[in-house]
């Protein structure tokens, strides 16, 4: 495994791996109709303007524009007790400066103020406070489990090698 400092972010590889993960869930248990797949040019509702209140980097916005999401009103789990956040819906709603509700949902109440602009949550808040976040600048994903504690158990799972 390469050192963290040697890992480079590749948007194309990251998108492909997220697509692969959704296809894995379909093969395992999920109905394909539970997911929506991005158009070739990306989701039109996910833009820097519609998500400006999140303060995320252009790399994060572009990544969110090109990955699949669960269809609204489906309960597909991304991992035990954790559901995917539909960023297309968030984009439709819009996130204004100072609106922290979506950040709390995606990044957790204990951590959302400290999450860098290059990291984004891919799952919604759950009763058990489990989150899956993607660090675009590190080419990695972080799985977090905790009860509103900044001392949550953390484990990195690398998406690109």
Per the structure, the count of domains in the chain is 1
Report pTM: 0.75
Q: Give me the mean pLDDT over the 49-64 stretch.
A: 87
**pLDDT one-digit tens code per residue, 87-114:** 888 888 877 766 777 777 767 666 777 7
The span from the CA of 145 to the CA of 34, in Å, is 25
Q: Give me the mean pLDDT over the 120-140 stretch.
A: 60
Query: Which contacts of 74-79 are long-range, i.e. CB under 8 A and separated by 24 or more positions?
Result: 74/34, 76/25, 76/30, 76/34, 76/35, 78/122, 78/123, 78/132, 79/123, 79/130, 79/132, 79/143
Identify the domain containing residue 36 by its residue range. Answer: 4-158
Label residue 128 by pLDDT band (50, 70, 90).
Answer: very low
Q: Give me the mean pLDDT over the 30-38 stretch.
A: 92
Provide the token pair at 88. 């297309």
């Amino acid at each position: 495994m390469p050192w963290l400092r040697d890992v480079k972010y590749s948007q194309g590889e990251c998108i492909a791996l997220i697509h692969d993960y959704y296809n894995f869930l379909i093969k395992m248990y999920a109905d394909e109709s539970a997911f929506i797949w991005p158009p070739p040019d990306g989701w039109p509702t996910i833009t820097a303007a519609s998500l400006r209140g999140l303060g995320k980097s252009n790399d994060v916005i572009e990544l969110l524009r090109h990955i699949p999401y669960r269809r609204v009103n489906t309960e597909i789990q991304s991992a035990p007790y954790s559901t995917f956040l539909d960023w297309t819906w968030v984009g439709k709603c819009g996130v204004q400066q100072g609106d922290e509700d979506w950040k709390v949902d995606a990044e957790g109440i204990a951590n959302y103020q400290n999450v860098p602009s290059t990291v984004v949550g891919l799952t919604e808040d759950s009763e058990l406070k489990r989150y899956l976040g993607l660090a675009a600048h590190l080419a990695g994903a972080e799985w977090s489990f905790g009860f509103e504690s900044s001392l949550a158990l953390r484990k990195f799972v690398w998406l690109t090698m």
